């Protein structure tokens, strides 16, 4: 049922499927593995992650040479299930594949000795399968399919710990995401009944019916945005996110940097660019309200973050705020603003995952969950806090870390589009970011520890070495598996910011995407 174009080699259709399979097959195998087979499971996980990254890199090279990758399966009516890989998909794919690899390493270290690891890693891999499916979707129906699959596969991860709190958080999560899925389905079905197609197209595909169905299209836009906006944590649909912090740190990292929230933001990008097209969206007048919602979310998220003592909840509200930078960039409807928004997909992902890795290390090694307990931590865990610091400074927008680049382009984009209020929002938000990040750094580096931390007894957590040896490399502050990932992602945040003008940097890639959207004939 896979249509192969006669003139193209078989690879074109098979590569997207292989990308899916590289996490789907390990997932199915892992479900049946007994708990004790740690090595097999780790091998499958890491092997799948490496293969996926390699495949995506291969496709990146191929697309840069002008290759087209597409696989389709007829589903219903004239609609097919379409997987295709273009510039925007590749951006998200690369982010997903790369961060999955890093998070897998981290999760293996974090969950050592925990129960139900086979179940966890099985759903973990399924979740990434859904995410790359979202990234490669070629029409709104395929997007809907993988988006819903994402809901189903992340629920077991949220409730993994099995406590009452986890179950309640899972219930809230589910209520939000199921309602969102219904709105998305309503919008999609309605749109299809009007336009007869759902295939993503560079300028959108609603132009033909825009004149006759203005009201319907506006309503459909609202439905679709609300549908994906729940996952993207737009206010007031965001309340599931802080509550989902009961999940283990690797899950929070995955949900906030890679999978769910990014998929929601990616969905908004797709809806504005490839469903409606920027011209039609502006003509319908929906970009203005969208920008307002984004701005409200940015400010509200930052404000709530100021008052959180629980570290992960503070980071959660920070995510609520930061992801809406992407939405703001898209909604301002200008080439430079869209660059800022799209590149922030990658930058925010890297920085936020570093922060969550750091939070996870603090919780796992020292039992620290609250900011008020973090006095003097910098001396005890310098490398973790070093990575944390870099990421936090990037969030605030300090050059040359990647976050600065996104804000720079967003600001430029606002000026280019002739609107000034986003600048005020960005400034206010950066100030608030400073207000809730700098105190953490101050506490960690410059204060003395007030109370002794709840360090586990020697041997209780074998993956975290006990203190005693003198040199830092023989006594890392925490397990290697927990230390390396944040170091890698922090370094990437710095390097990507420093070398942003190199050919394959996310910034250059975003410029390419923006150019294609705004100047494509």
Partner 1 sequence: MRLALGGLDWTLAVVFVPLGGALLCFLLPRRTAVLGLITAWLTAMATLGLTLDVLAKGAQRTALGGWEAPLGILWLADGLSVSLMAMTASVGVAVSVYAAAYFRDEHTERAFFWPLWLLLWTALNALFLSADLFNLYVTLELLGFAAASLTALSGSTAALAGAIRYLMVSVLGSLSYLLGVALIYHACGTVDIALVAACIGDAPRPAVQAAVGAMVAGLLLKTALFPFHFWLPPAHASAPAPVSAVLSALVVKASFYLLLRLWFDVLGGGGRGLAELLGALGAAAVIWGSVLAWRQEHLKQLIAYSTVAQVGYFFMAFPLSMAGHAGAWSGALYLALAHGLAKAAMFMSAGNLMRFGRQDRIAELDRVAYRLPLTLAAFTLAGVSIMGLPPSGGFIGKWLMLQAAFQQGRVDLAAVMLFGGVLAAAYVFKVVGSAFTPGEHEHRGLAVPAAMEWSALLLAGAAILLGLTLPLLWPLLHVGTAPAAALPLATAPGVTS
Binding site for partner 1 (CB under 8 A): 1, 31, 73-78, 81, 119, 141, 144-145, 148-149, 152, 155-156, 159-160, 162-164, 166-167, 170-171, 174, 178-179, 181-182, 185-186, 189-190, 192-196, 208-209, 212
Instruction: Closer to partner 1 by CB, 7 or 193: give it.
Output: 193
Q: What distance in Å separates the CA atoms of residue 314 and residue 371, rounded to the nearest whole number?
A: 9
Report CA torsion sign: 221, 296, 508, 91.
negative
> Residue 32 burial by CB count (10 A; 0-12/13-18/19+): exposed, middle or buried?
exposed
Half-sphere exposure of 252 (CA within 13 A, CB side): 34
| Smallest gap from residue 152 Cβ to partner 1 (A) | 7
Instruction: Closer to partner 1 by CB, 1 or 10: give it.
Output: 1
| Smallest gap from residue 380 Cβ to partner 1 (A) | 35
Q: What distance in Å separates the CA atoms of residue 271 and residue 181, rounded to the nearest whole number?
A: 15
| Smallest gap from residue 144 Cβ to partner 1 (A) | 6
Helix segments in 36-86, DSSP class H: 38-64
Token pair listed for 511: 């410029």
Is residue 131 within 8 Å of 258, Cβ to Cβ? yes
> Residue 194 burial by CB count (10 A; 0-12/13-18/19+): exposed, middle or buried?
middle
Instruction: Closer to partner 1 by CB, 46 or 145: give it.
Output: 145
Nearest to 13 by CA among 56, 68, 65, 64: 68
| Smallest gap from residue 465 Cβ to partner 1 (A) | 31
Instruction: Closer to partner 1 by CB, 19 or 337: give it.
Output: 19
Instruction: Closer to partner 1 by CB, 138 or 413: give it.
Output: 138
| Smallest gap from residue 105 Cβ to partner 1 (A) | 25
Half-sphere exposure of 307 (CA within 13 A, CB side): 4
Distances (CA, A) of 91 to 230, 441, 513: 22, 31, 9
| Smallest gap from residue 202 Cβ to partner 1 (A) | 18
Which residues, other chains included, contact 66 with Cβ-Cβ below 8 Å and sequence gap of 6+? Answer: none
* Helix 382-396, helix 480-498: angle, nearest 10: 30
Instruction: Closer to partner 1 by CB, 215 or 473: give it.
Output: 215
Instruction: Closer to partner 1 by CB, 120 or 404: give it.
Output: 120
| Smallest gap from residue 117 Cβ to partner 1 (A) | 14
Instruction: Closer to partner 1 by CB, 145 or 512: give it.
Output: 145
| Smallest gap from residue 488 Cβ to partner 1 (A) | 31
| Smallest gap from residue 213 Cβ to partner 1 (A) | 9
Torsion over CA of 344, 346, 349 and 350, rounded to 10 degrees?
A: -110
Q: DSSP letters along 269-284, please?
A: HHIIIIII-HHHHHHH
Instruction: Closer to partner 1 by CB, 240 or 408: give it.
Output: 240
């Amino acid at each position: 049922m896979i249509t192969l174009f006669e003139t193209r080699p078989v690879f074109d259709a098979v590569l997207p499927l292989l990308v899916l399979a590289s996490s789907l097959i390990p997932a199915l195998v892992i479900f049946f593995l007994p708990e004790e087979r740690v090595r097999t499971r780790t091998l499958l996980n890491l092997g799948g992650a490496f293969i996926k990254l390699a495949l995506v890199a291969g496709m990146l090279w191929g697309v840069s040479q002008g290759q087209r990758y597409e696989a389709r399966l007829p589903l219903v009516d004239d609609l097919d299930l379409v997987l295709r890989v273009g510039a925007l998909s590749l951006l998200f794919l690369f982010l997903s594949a790369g961060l999955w690899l890093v998070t897998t390493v981290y999760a293996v270290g974090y969950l050592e000795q925990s129960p139900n690891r086979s179940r966890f890693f099985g759903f973990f891999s399924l979740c990434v399968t859904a995410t790359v499916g979202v990234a490669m979707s070629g029409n709104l129906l395929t997007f809907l399919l993988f988006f819903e699959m994402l809901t189903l596969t992340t629920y077991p991860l949220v409730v993994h710990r099995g406590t009452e709190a986890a179950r309640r958080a899972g219930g809230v999560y589910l209520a939000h995401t199921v309602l969102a899925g219904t709105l998305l389905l309503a919008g999609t079905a309605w749109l299809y009944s009007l336009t007869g197609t759902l295939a993503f197209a560079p300028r959108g595909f609603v132009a033909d019916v825009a004149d006759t169905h203005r009201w319907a299209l506006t309503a459909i836009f609202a439905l679709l945005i609300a549908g994906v906006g729940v996952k993207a944590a737009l206010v007031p649909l965001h309340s599931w996110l802080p509550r989902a912090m009961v999940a283990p740190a690797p899950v929070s990292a995955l949900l906030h940097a890679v999978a769910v929230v990014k998929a929601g933001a990616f969905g908004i990008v797709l809806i504005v660019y490839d469903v409606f097209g920027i011209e039609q969206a502006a003509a319908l007048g929906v970009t203005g309200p969208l920008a307002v919602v984004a701005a409200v979310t940015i400010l509200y998220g930052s404000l709530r973050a100021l008052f959180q003592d629980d570290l992960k909840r503070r980071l959660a509200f920070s995510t609520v705020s930061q992801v809406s930078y992407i939405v703001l960039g898209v909604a301002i409807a200008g080439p430079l603003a869209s660059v800022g928004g799209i590149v922030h997909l990658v930058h925010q992902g890297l920085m936020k995952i570093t922060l969550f890795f750091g939070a996870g290390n603090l919780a796992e090694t020292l039992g620290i969950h609250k900011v008020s307990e973090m006095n003097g931590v910098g001396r005890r865990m310098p490398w973790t806090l070093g990575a944390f610091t870099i990421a936090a400074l990037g969030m605030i927008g300090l050059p040359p870390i990647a976050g600065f680049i996104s804000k720079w382009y967003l600001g430029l984009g606002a000026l280019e589009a002739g609107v000034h209020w986003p600048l005020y929002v960005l400034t206010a938000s950066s100030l608030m970011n400073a207000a809730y990040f700098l105190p953490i750094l101050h506490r960690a580096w410059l204060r003395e520890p007030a109370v002794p931390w709840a360090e586990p007894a020697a041997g209780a957590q074998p993956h975290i070495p006990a203190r005693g040896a003198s040199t830092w490399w023989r006594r890392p502050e925490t397990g290697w598996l927990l230390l390396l990932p944040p170091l890698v992602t922090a370094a990437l945040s710095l390097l990507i910011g420093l070398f942003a003008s190199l050919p394959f940097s996310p910034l250059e890639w975003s410029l390419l995407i923006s150019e294609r959207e705004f100047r494509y004939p």
